[in-house]
Structures are given as structure tokens and as C-alpha cells.
A = this chain, B = another copy of it.
Amino acid sequence: MIVKKPSDVPAVPVEMEGANKVTVRVMFGPKDKAPTFAMRIFELAGGGNTPYHKHPFEHEAVILSGDIALVTPDGDKPVAVGDVVLVMPDEIHAFKNRSDTEPASLMCLVPVEYQK
């Protein structure tokens, strides 16, 4: 069994195209020999967002803090702390911090084979 605090794992800038002011902590992934899925915490600085993109695997996410919107082809949908989100494979999406000044964060899980 492995127990970690978020502060045990470094927050690394997300370098993907379209990512803006966002860092990631890989809480569990291939290095932990996680068998099936990977757990990451994304932190969005004021005005930050994850890439608006799609991919062949799902997300399951939990809103942890701040004022976040789920960006979809149908517009932005505000989500509250504690809300959970299932993004299906090939759905276009992003997570956006609606505040220009305050940070926000979410947990996002993916199948482990997609976690570098």
C-alpha cells in the first residue's frame, strides 16, 4: 500500500499545446506500478486552462478547489467543488479556471497506459 500527500509529489508544468498556466502532480502512475489507472492532480493558476482537445480514452475527474468550468462544444459549464465529471473517449473538452486571480484544482484519472 502506498499513501501520499499532494505535497509529496512535485507539481510539473504541463507542456502540451493549448495548456496554459497549469501544473500536474502524478499521484499514482506507471512508476508506482498502478495496474489499471493513473491519478493526477492538476492545478490551474488564475486564468489557466487544460488543453481543449480530445483523445481515445476517458477522464474521470473530481473538482477539488476554485471556480472551474468544463469547456465543451456546447459552451462552458461551471462545475462546483465536489462535482465529478466523466469525459468519454473522443469528447472534446477542457477545464478552465474562471478566476483570473485565484487558483483552482482538480483530480483527473486516466487509464494508466496513457500516463507517461
Residues of A in contact with B (beta carbons under 8 Å apart): 1-6, 27-28, 32-37, 39, 57-58, 60, 62, 70, 72, 77, 79-80, 82-89, 91, 93, 107, 109, 111
- Closest chain B residue, CB of each to CB of A34: B86
Instruction: Identify which of B62, B85, B87, B89 contacts A62 (C-beta below 8 A).
Output: B62
B62 touches A37 (CB 8 A): no
A37 touches B35 (CB 8 A): no
Kindly report how many copies of this chain are found in the complex they form together.
2
Q: Which residues of B contact A28 (CB under 8 A)?
A: 60, 84, 86
B83 touches A5 (CB 8 A): yes
Point out which of A35, A36, A62 has the most chain B C-beta atoms below 10 A from its C-beta: A36
A39 touches B27 (CB 8 A): no
B1 touches A70 (CB 8 A): yes
B79 touches A57 (CB 8 A): no
Point out which of A3, A35, A72, A109 has the most chain B C-beta atoms below 10 A from its C-beta: A3
